[in-house]
């Protein structure tokens, strides 16, 4: 029996950045796993760079809130990545909860998201594609960051990165304006959008239809940035002036179910100027998590 034959597909459960994902069973241990199958049809292209990147990063990242890569099986026509199995993703969870998530669950999920994110950032990894579909949940309520196909290591010297990252609804203003240099703040914005979505029972905060529409939706809620509030914004590659919105409602009015401490933390995540956003490590120390901090 070849290594690739040691897993029996049970059902197709989704699409990753570059491959089809199946629920599968190990024929040796009977363990249920997730199998991401990448077809290698074009000999010229070989293994997709995103797959190689995910493999390299996940071999180094070991944390309870990051999905575990268990095995990699390379055959002539496919690359099979074997992951620990999680029951559903956060998007499917949203779809099943009918717009109502209790405050304890919101707090727990955001705490776990930040735990995984803080670990990534401490190990110089940017996820760059945080969204509900890439956050997996176990039946025990554990949340795990997944799909590192767009992730990359960062460090000194600073290099120019791609601005073609992060799904539109979770993309920060600096990247929407074409920023090629960014830091961990890119993930914090996405995390803040997900935090608001959790608090609103799965309703997206900024569901834009285009880059311009996305920016307009953001600015209408938190105000249009200027050189005074965000020095250098007008020098970004794809910057264009927008109407100066003085929001009639603060961001906190868009998350009525969040308590005041939660609203304060959200405000610290969703700041247009990336240099002013809170870090994942500091967010974990925020008073919003005081009852969790006392236990951990």
What is the mean pLDDT, run by run of 10 residues, along the chain of 296 residues?
77 79 93 89 67 86 95 86 94 90 96 98 94 95 92 66 76 94 93 97 95 95 93 95 82 92 96 96 97 74
How far lies 276's CA from each of 85, 183, 202, 234, 269, in Å?
A: 37, 12, 27, 17, 9
Check whether residue 50 and residue 151 sit in a common domain: no
Count of domains in the chain? 2
For residues 170 and 166, give the distance between their C-alpha atoms in angstroms, rounded to a whole number: 6
Check whether residue 213 and residue 161 sit in a common domain: yes
Q: What is the pLDDT of residue 292?
A: 86
Backbone angles phi, psi at 79, to 5 degrees: -120, 120
Q: Which range marks the domain in which residue 273 is found?
A: 87-292
Q: Can you tell me whether residue 257 is helix, strand or coil?
A: coil
Q: What is the pLDDT of residue 65?
A: 98
Check whether residue 78 and residue 102 sit in a common domain: no
Q: What is the pLDDT of residue 165?
A: 66
Check whether residue 102 and residue 218 sit in a common domain: yes
Check whether residue 151 and residue 262 sit in a common domain: yes
Check whether residue 199 and residue 218 sit in a common domain: yes
For residues 236 and 216, give the distance between their C-alpha atoms in angstroms, rounded to a whole number: 17
Q: Can you tell me whether residue 71 is helix, strand or coil?
A: strand
* Catalytic entry in 129, 147, 174, 187: 129
Check whether residue 21 and residue 138 sit in a common domain: no
CB contact at 8 A, 208 and 217: yes
258 upstream amide cis, omega within 30 of 0? no
Check whether residue 96 and residue 222 sit in a common domain: yes
CATH number for the domain harbouring residue 76: 3.30.200.20
Of the CA atoms within 13 Å of residue 209, those in its CB half-sphere come to 0
Residue with tokens 């499917």: 92
Domain boundary among 21, 49, 82: 82
Check whether residue 245 and residue 287 sit in a common domain: yes
Instruction: Please indicate whether residue 45 is annotated as part of the active site.
Output: no
Check whether residue 110 and residue 171 sit in a common domain: yes
Of the CA atoms within 13 Å of residue 186, those in its CB half-sphere come to 32
Residue with tokens 């069973």: 25
Question: Dihedral (C-alpha) 176, 179, 183, 184: value to the nearest 10 degrees?
Answer: 0
Q: What is the pLDDT of residue 156?
A: 46
Of the CA atoms within 13 Å of residue 36, those in its CB half-sphere come to 25
The contacts of residue 11 (CB under 8 Å, 6+ apart) are 22, 23
């Amino acid at each position: 029996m070849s290594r690739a034959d040691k897993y029996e597909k049970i059902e197709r459960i989704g699409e990753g950045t570059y491959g089809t994902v199946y629920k599968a069973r190990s024929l040796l241990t009977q363990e249920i796993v997730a199998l991401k199958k990448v077809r290698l049809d074009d000999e010229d292209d070989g293994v997709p760079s995103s797959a190689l990147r995910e493999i390299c990063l996940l071999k180094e990242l070991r944390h309870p809130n990051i999905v575990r890569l268990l095995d990699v099986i390379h055959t002539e026509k496919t690359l099979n990545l074997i992951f620990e199995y999680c029951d559903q993703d956060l998007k499917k969870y949203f779809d099943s909860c009918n717009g109502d998530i209790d405050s304890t669950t919101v707090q727990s999920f955001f705490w776990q998201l930040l735990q995984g994110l803080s670990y990534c950032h401490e190990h110089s990894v940017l996820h760059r594609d945080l969204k509900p579909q890439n956050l997996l949940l176990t039946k025990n309520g554990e949340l795990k960051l997944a799909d590192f196909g767009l992730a990359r290591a960062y460090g000194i010297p600073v290099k120019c990165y791609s601005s073609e990252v992060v799904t539109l609804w979770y993309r920060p203003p600096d990247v929407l304006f074409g920023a090629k240099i960014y830091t961990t703040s890119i993930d914090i914005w996405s995390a803040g959008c997900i935090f608001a979505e959790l608090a609103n029972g799965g309703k997206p905060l900024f569901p834009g239809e285009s880059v311009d529409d996305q920016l307009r939706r953001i600015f209408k809620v938190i105000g249009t940035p200027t050189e005074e509030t965000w020095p250098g914004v007008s020098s970004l590659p794809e910057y264009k002036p927008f109407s100066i919105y003085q929001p009639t409602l603060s961001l906190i009015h868009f998350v009525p179910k969040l308590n005041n401490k939660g609203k304060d933390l959200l405000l610290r995540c969703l700041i247009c100027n990336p240099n002013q956003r809170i870090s994942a490590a500091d967010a974990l120390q925020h008073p919003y998590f005081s009852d969790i901090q006392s236990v951990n």
